[in-house]
Amino acid sequence: MIFKSKNTDLNFVDGVGFLTFPSLSELDFVRHAFSTRIGGVSTDEFKSMNLNFKRGDDPEKVTENYKIFCKATGFDYNTLVSSSQDHHVNVRCVTSADCGIGIFREHDMPSVDALVTNEPNVTLVTHYADCTPLYFADPEKKVIALAHAGWKGTVGKVGEATVEVMTEKYGCDPTDIVCVVGPAIGFCCYEVDTPVYEEFASLTELKPAYFTKSLGHGKYMIDLKETNRRMLLEAGLLSINISISDVCTKCNSGLLYSHRASGGKRGGLIAMMAIK
Ligand SMILES: [Zn+2]
């Protein structure tokens, strides 16, 4: 396995591999990570750090993976709060009262694809396998958020919805917000048919020529990360505060679970972030 990136770090602690992003590593008030397949106890198509309870893996192994992952990355297992995402654009504000939801307590937040908090000791967890992770951190107001943007969430502007909640409920100024558009299926690999292309082509305010390419015969390539970047600029973020990971999940399917590369037989990756 060869990992090449100009802007994403691959770290190993106690045999657990995880990714971090320099622009968030520079912020000393947050802890963040993006998981890889390396260092867990799951087997077969879940090999080995599967962090998704809903893919058919043994739940005890998934729980063990969470504990191993938290120990290696410095997060507190008892503070995890997981989204119950299903490609909607609902944003939920969470507190310490929500700790354990989706991990060792039942999900009580259906259709939530983005989580926001301003409390320390609350670790946000969102799930991926080709979809786009959006990390948000406001160093002024000390507010963080994670959003899951697949193609539906991207077209539905879940990132903009997250910025609106940070602004309206927590008083954040969008020009202060630092954002990382994390590892996802890249422009190199994300091929779609006409109906999905038309959804992206309808985002005329974002100038779709910058994130769509026709291959002919009703096939198109879509750049999910660039679509999200342009949407975040529209939401008021500054270009200098947005970083895009150059890591494609499908090109790196030995390191990262990719829905497309595996034909759907796969475990799940997570983004994690907490205020220290
Ligand atoms: Zn690729």
Cβ–Cβ under 8 Å, residues 37 and 256: yes
Range of the domain at 142: 9-185+224-275
CA 173–ligand 1 middle distance (angstroms): 34
The model's pTM: 0.98
Q: Is residue 212 part of a domain?
A: no
Q: Is residue 2 part of a domain?
A: no
pLDDT at 84: 83
CA 127–ligand 1 middle distance (angstroms): 19
Count the domains in the chain: 1
Mean pLDDT of residues grouped by 10 in the chain (276 residues)? Answer: 93 98 98 98 97 96 98 98 85 96 85 93 96 98 97 96 98 98 98 98 98 98 98 98 98 97 96 98
Q: Is residue 203 part of a domain?
A: no
Cβ–Cβ under 8 Å, residues 36 and 10: yes
Dihedral Cα 181, 185, 188, 194, nearest 10 deg: -110
Residue 73 has what DSSP assignment?
H
Q: Is residue 204 part of a domain?
A: no
pLDDT at 112: 85
CA 187–ligand 1 middle distance (angstroms): 7
By DSSP bridging, strand 112-117 and strand 242-244 are unpaired
pLDDT at 14: 97
Q: Which residues of 129-142 are buried (b: 16+ CB within 10 A; e: fewer)?
A: bbbbbbbbbbeebb
CA 189–ligand 1 middle distance (angstroms): 4
CA 120–ligand 1 middle distance (angstroms): 36
Residues 6+ apart with CB under 8 A from 16: 38, 39, 40, 49, 68, 69, 72, 73
Q: Is residue 19 part of a domain?
A: yes
Q: Is residue 243 part of a domain?
A: yes
CA 191–ligand 1 middle distance (angstroms): 10
Q: Is residue 60 part of a domain?
A: yes
CA distance 222 to 122: 34
Query: Which amino acid is located at 204 in the chain?
Result: T
Q: Is residue 214 part of a domain?
A: no
CA 110–ligand 1 middle distance (angstroms): 31
CA 193–ligand 1 middle distance (angstroms): 17
pLDDT at 141: 98
List the CATH number of the domain containing 270: 3.60.140.10
Element containing residue 90 per DSSP (H, E): strand 90-93
